[in-house]
Amino acid sequence: MATVSDITVSAAINSLSALIFLVAFAILRLQPINDRVYFPKWYLKGIRETPSTSGPFVKKFVNLDFRMYLRFLNWVPAALRMPEPELIDHAGLDSAVYIRIYLLGLKIFVPIALLAFAVLLPVNYTGENFKIVSLNMKDITFGEIDKFSISNVPAASKRLIAHIAMAYVFTFWTCYVLYKEYKIVTDMRLHFLASENRRPDQFTVLVRNVPPDPDESVSDHVDHFFRVNHPDQYLSHQVVYNANKLAKMVAQKKHLHNRLIYYTNKHERNPDKRPTTKTGFWGLWGKKIDAIKYYTDEIDKLSTEEVEERERVIGDPKAVVPAAFVSFRSRWGAAVCAQTQQTRNPTRWLTDWAPEPRDVYWDNLAIPFVELNVRRLLMAGALFGLTFCFIVPIALVQTLANIESIEKVVPFLKPLINKRSIKSVIQGFLPGIVLKLFLIILPMILMAMSKIEGFTALSALEARSAGKFHLFLLVNVFFGSIIAGTALEQLKEFLNQSPSEIPKTVGVSIPMKATFFITYIMVDGWAGIAAEILRLVPLVMYHLKNIFLVKTEKDREEAMDPGSLLWPVTEPRMQLYFLLGLVYSTVTPILLPFIIVFFAFSYLVFRHQIINVYHQKYESAASFWPDVNRRILIGLTISQFTLLGLLSTKNATNSTPFLLVLPVLTFWFHRFCKNRFESAFRKFPLQDAMIKDTLERATEPHLDLKSYLQDAYIHPVFKDGEIDTSMDVYDDDDYPVVATRRSSRKGSQVGTREGSPDERSGILAV
């Protein structure tokens, strides 16, 4: 067990590393050369220009104004200064609500911490189980931290009543804050939707599983069906082409184009020598050839192929998938169609709101009903395997960190391991690297799984990936650390245990793991967040691109990588802190300040990033909030069960009925919230649609809606303009980096200039 001084040392180290990151950030951000790395959002909005200060040449790259270095922390008040309505206008509702989650963490945990420190710390500290135990048993080591935890309360003590009472108070407080927040977010969302400008998705419904008709084309079939069944409201429709192959060609061409630019630049800098490349993979092996000629030829070849494919897709009726975007004369008509069932067979003519055009995931529009069900079954199995079998490597890695246990497991390796160099490699790097590598590719695996499940919008894909990652973290980081952390042997024992024993096993381990989680919070939470603000990878990437690829100002703009919130990764990680805070609030309240620091610091950092850096790929108007609410309640329920298990091992089994009431109430609260609020996040009420329609009819009586909607839902490869240089690429394996949509951005800059949500939530330039 760690002592208080151990924790202090760890806190000092992590605070220091966080501080170093912050100082580095403060210095780097002041250099004009890094301006596009730390303020890309302002460039994308067209407000900031590349600094072109007159004066010494060096000033273009290095900031020589030393007074600015003295105020190196002035980004903090700047980040806090922007009021929320302006923030929503600037970064979109998704981002504004996202940072509210950190604020929610503060709202929940600051009062809980105050109360826990006032009530539970004295109760625990004067419990003096410590003395009793240390007299009786030798094998249980008691850390100083434990004096402040429930471990210091003797079994069957009357003091445990305080913990039960506090569990009630914390549950009610958490639910109260969640209820208030859900209400606020719902209002924000509805207000945001109501004040939105006209957007194509307000009038459009995505129809899937159009049944085949022997006599008609898909397009005619859709047209006739809606003309008959929505006679007053149907306006037009847009069929969907299966242009996946074409999109791949376009992506390939863009890649070749980049290589060509690289070699052209090289040649310009050094005109004497023609640059060469090799024909093999990534130019690493094979025959040596002239690079510029090779890539020019390749691009020409691909261009002709692309033209052919483009003609084939448009001409071939088989390239039309049985799905369509159907547009209506009014928002009311679209709302009606999206919320109703069209035919007897609920697997055909499925209608749902169309995602906004940027949000459509084109590859998945044509999956038939039964296949979709089978895919989800398979992916559920795969997720189960991934989540529960990964627990073995984690435990293995944690055992590997211990040389003695390796020797025990594989005794024949003993002579090899005892060599000093190998020993240090094994102990120091290998386990960490393996684990880290897996964790880096994990979100991509989960995203690929979500794609196989067949969701049709990027926002839905991200939401599903977040759900999967949340499960993974819960099982492997939280339960994995608690159970397997103590010993690998316990794992097998645990698997053979009955489910009702789990709360007990977990409950017993919880207080012992407090110091581990405190360290975890400091490493992953404090230092990790500080690293986030430094943006080391984009910084390096930007400068590399700048050197090798950038020729024009436009290229420089493309070299910027503003990144985005990475919802599927950050939200589940944040949920882990909610879980830890709730679990330890009654057990080891001394952990709470670390959680609070995490939330406060993250709030600051992400507010800065959202204002200055991130550019969201789409705007879902905070449609993720029901997930956030549900997951916090899952954390709350886990905390209640662990306390129940812990107390039942403390000979306080008669407390079980009292504590069993809490999960029941929490579940009921979840149902209540779902009934009360969730439909605001899933449906679009007719009244609101009608109000917007009426308003629009009054202000713009001569609006030509049909031409407005005409090209909204055309597959991006068919959009006119700079197809050959920038294009939507939706690649299965290419997880976080998704789209370059210059053409549509240009469009939005021209068409809906005055801060429309289209523009606000912006486009990610690669």
- Shortest spacing between CB 416 and its own copies, in angstroms: 36
The yes or no reply on residue 686 touching its own copies (CB under 8 A) is yes
Question: Distance between CA 123 and CA 513 in Å, rounded?
Answer: 20
Which residue number, 128 or 688, has a Cβ lying nearer to its own copies? Answer: 688
Which residue number, 335 or 534, has a Cβ lying nearer to its own copies? Answer: 335
The yes or no reply on residue 483 touching its own copies (CB under 8 A) is no
The yes or no reply on residue 228 touching its own copies (CB under 8 A) is yes
Structure tokens at 567: 């919802």
Name the strand (E) or helix (H) holding 654: none
Question: Distance between CA 664 and CA 666 in Å, rounded?
Answer: 5
Which residue number, 140 or 392, has a Cβ lying nearer to its own copies? Answer: 392
Among 23, 103, 184, 190, binds its own copies (CB under 8 A): 190
Angle at which helices 369-389 and 391-400 cross, to 10°: 20
Q: Which amino acid is residue 399, in one-letter code? A: T
324 forms bridges with which residues in the sheet?
207, 239
Q: Apex CA 453: angle with CA 216 and CA 572, to 5°? A: 140
- Shortest spacing between CB 624 and its own copies, in angstroms: 18
Q: Which stretch binds its own copies (CB under 8 A): 395-403, 442-450, 497-505, 597-605?
A: 497-505
The rounded Cα 44 to chain-centroid distance in angstroms is 22
The yes or no reply on residue 373 touching its own copies (CB under 8 A) is yes
Q: Which stretch binds its own copies (CB under 8 A): 588-596, 680-688, 703-711, 734-742?
A: 680-688
Judge residue 269's burial from the number of C-beta atoms within 10 Å of its C-beta, 0-12 exposed, 13-18 middle, 19 or more buried.
exposed
Among 262, 677, 713, 735, binds its own copies (CB under 8 A): 677
- Shortest spacing between CB 572 and its own copies, in angstroms: 25
Query: Residue 563's closest CA among 548, 541, 579?
Result: 541
Given a contact cutoff of 8 angstroms between Cβ atoms, the answer to whether 612 and 146 are in contact is: no
The yes or no reply on residue 232 touching its own copies (CB under 8 A) is yes
The yes or no reply on residue 387 touching its own copies (CB under 8 A) is no
Which residue number, 501 or 731, has a Cβ lying nearer to its own copies? Answer: 501
The yes or no reply on residue 369 touching its own copies (CB under 8 A) is yes
Given a contact cutoff of 8 angstroms between Cβ atoms, the answer to whether 726 and 741 are in contact is: yes
Query: Residue 235's closest CA among 708, 691, 690?
Result: 708
Name the strand (E) or helix (H) holding 362: none
Given a contact cutoff of 8 angstroms between Cβ atoms, the answer to whether 150 and 121 are in contact is: no
Structure tokens at 395: 């435990």
Structure tokens at 762: 């912006």
- Shortest spacing between CB 180 and its own copies, in angstroms: 16
The yes or no reply on residue 707 touching its own copies (CB under 8 A) is no
Question: Distance between CA 608 and CA 468 in Å, rounded?
Answer: 28
Q: Which stretch binds its own copies (CB under 8 A): 195-203, 432-440, 470-478, 683-691?
A: 683-691
Which residue number, 106 or 382, has a Cβ lying nearer to its own copies? Answer: 382
Binding flags for its own copies, 315-344, as an x/- string (CB under 8 A):
--------------------xx--xxxxxx
Which residue number, 524 or 696, has a Cβ lying nearer to its own copies? Answer: 696
The yes or no reply on residue 690 touching its own copies (CB under 8 A) is yes
Binding flags for its own copies, 254-293, as an x/- string (CB under 8 A):
----------------------------------------
Which residue number, 575 or 642, has a Cβ lying nearer to its own copies? Answer: 642
Among 81, 134, 668, 706, binds its own copies (CB under 8 A): 668
The yes or no reply on residue 498 touching its own copies (CB under 8 A) is yes
Q: Which stretch binds its own copies (CB under 8 A): 213-221, 511-519, 624-632, 665-673?
A: 665-673
Which residue number, 650 or 742, has a Cβ lying nearer to its own copies? Answer: 650
- Shortest spacing between CB 501 and its own copies, in angstroms: 6
Judge residue 24's burial from the number of C-beta atoms within 10 Å of its C-beta, 0-12 exposed, 13-18 middle, 19 or more buried.
middle
Given a contact cutoff of 8 angstroms between Cβ atoms, the answer to whether 211 and 686 are in contact is: no
- The SS3 of residue 350 is strand
320 forms bridges with which residues in the sheet?
241
Query: Residue 251's closest CA among 300, 306, 295?
Result: 306
Q: Which stretch binds its own copies (CB under 8 A): 13-21, 221-229, 244-252, 279-287?
A: 221-229
- The SS3 of residue 710 is coil
Laid out side by side, the sheet with 204-208 consists of: 234-241, 320-328, 204-208, 350-353
* Strand ranges, E, within 593-734: none
Q: Which stretch binds its own copies (CB under 8 A): 116-124, 162-170, 392-400, 668-676?
A: 668-676
- How many other CB atoms are there within 10 angstroms of residue 365's CB atom? 21
The yes or no reply on residue 651 touching its own copies (CB under 8 A) is no
Given a contact cutoff of 8 angstroms between Cβ atoms, the answer to whether 51 and 574 are in contact is: no
Which residue number, 53 or 498, has a Cβ lying nearer to its own copies? Answer: 498
Query: Residue 390's closest CA among 337, 435, 338?
Result: 435
Question: Distance between CA 193 and CA 682 in Å, rounded?
Answer: 12
Binding flags for its own copies, 500-539, as an x/- string (CB under 8 A):
xx--------------------------------------
- Shortest spacing between CB 461 and its own copies, in angstroms: 20
Q: Which stretch binds its own copies (CB under 8 A): 48-56, 149-157, 222-230, 405-413?
A: 222-230
- Shortest spacing between CB 96 and its own copies, in angstroms: 19
Q: Alpha helix locations (H) across 244-368?
A: 244-269, 291-315, 331-339
Among 679, 721, 751, 753, binds its own copies (CB under 8 A): 679
The yes or no reply on residue 618 touching its own copies (CB under 8 A) is no
Which residue number, 30 or 335, has a Cβ lying nearer to its own copies? Answer: 335
- Tell me which residues touch its own copies (CB under 8 A): 190, 225, 228-230, 232, 335-336, 339-344, 346-347, 349, 369, 373, 377, 381, 497-501, 664, 668, 671-672, 675-680, 683-688, 690
